[in-house]
Amino acid sequence: MPKNTMGEFIAILRKAAGMTQRDLADKLNVSDKTVSRWERDETAPDISLLPIIADLFQISCDELLRGERITQEQRTENAERVQQRSEESIRRLLNRSRTTLLTQIFITLGIAFLGVVAAMAINYAAHNAPLAFFIGLIAFVAAIILQISFLLRAFAANPEDAAFPAVADFRLTAAKTTYFAVSAVLILFASTLPLLLMTKHGFVAGIAASDWFSQGLLTAAIMFAICYALYPLIMKVLAYFKLVKRLPKSPALPRKTRLFLVLYVVIALLTTYIGGFYQNKHRYYTPVLGTYTRTDEITEFKQLVENNYYNPDLQRHESYFDYQISVHTDGKQVVSNYVDQTFDGNTVTTSVWNLSDDHIQEDTANLGETPYTHTSTISFADGTTTELQFTVKNSQISKIEINEQPQAGKPFVTVYGLHTQTAFHINFVTLFTIEILAGIGIYHYLKKRQNKAEVPA
Q: What is the CATH number of the domain that holds 38?
A: 1.10.260.40
Give the relative orientation of helices 165-191 and 209-240 as an angle to the nearest 10 degrees: 150
- Could you tell me whether strands 359-366 and 347-354 are parallel, antiparallel, or unpaired per DSSP bridges? antiparallel
Q: How confident is the model at residue 280 (pLDDT cuts 50, 70, 90)?
A: low
Same domain for 146 and 60, yes or no, is: no
Whether 303 contacts 423, CB under 8 Å: no
**pLDDT tops 50 at residue 201:** no
Q: How confident is the model at residue 335 (pLDDT cuts 50, 70, 90)?
A: very low
What mean pLDDT comes out for the span 380-396?
Answer: 80
Q: How confident is the model at residue 76 (pLDDT cuts 50, 70, 90)?
A: low
Same domain for 37 and 143, yes or no, is: no
Read off the DSSP letter of residue 250.
P
Total domains in the fold of the chain: 3
Boundaries of domain holding 317 = 284-421
- Please check whether residue 233 lies inside any domain of the structure: yes
Q: Which of 247, 271, 298 is the last residue of a domain?
A: 247
Mean pLDDT of the chain: 76
* Greater pLDDT, 268 or 314: 268
Q: How confident is the model at residue 448 (pLDDT cuts 50, 70, 90)?
A: confident
- Please check whether residue 48 lies inside any domain of the structure: yes
**pLDDT tops 50 at residue 279:** yes
**Amino acid 284: pLDDT:** 66
Of 384, 394, 389, 438, whose CA–CA distance to 415 is shortest? 394
* Greater pLDDT, 357 or 48: 48
**Amino acid 419: pLDDT:** 66
**pLDDT tops 50 at residue 139:** yes
Our CA angle for 442, 444, 449, nearest 5°, is 95
Instruction: Tell me how crowded residue 33 is: count the other CB atoms within 10 A of its CB.
Output: 10
What mean pLDDT comes out for the span 230-259?
Answer: 81
**pLDDT tops 50 at residue 354:** no
Same domain for 114 and 235, yes or no, is: yes
* Greater pLDDT, 42 or 87: 42
* Greater pLDDT, 300 or 143: 143
* Greater pLDDT, 184 or 411: 184
Same domain for 63 and 122, yes or no, is: no
**Amino acid 25: pLDDT:** 86
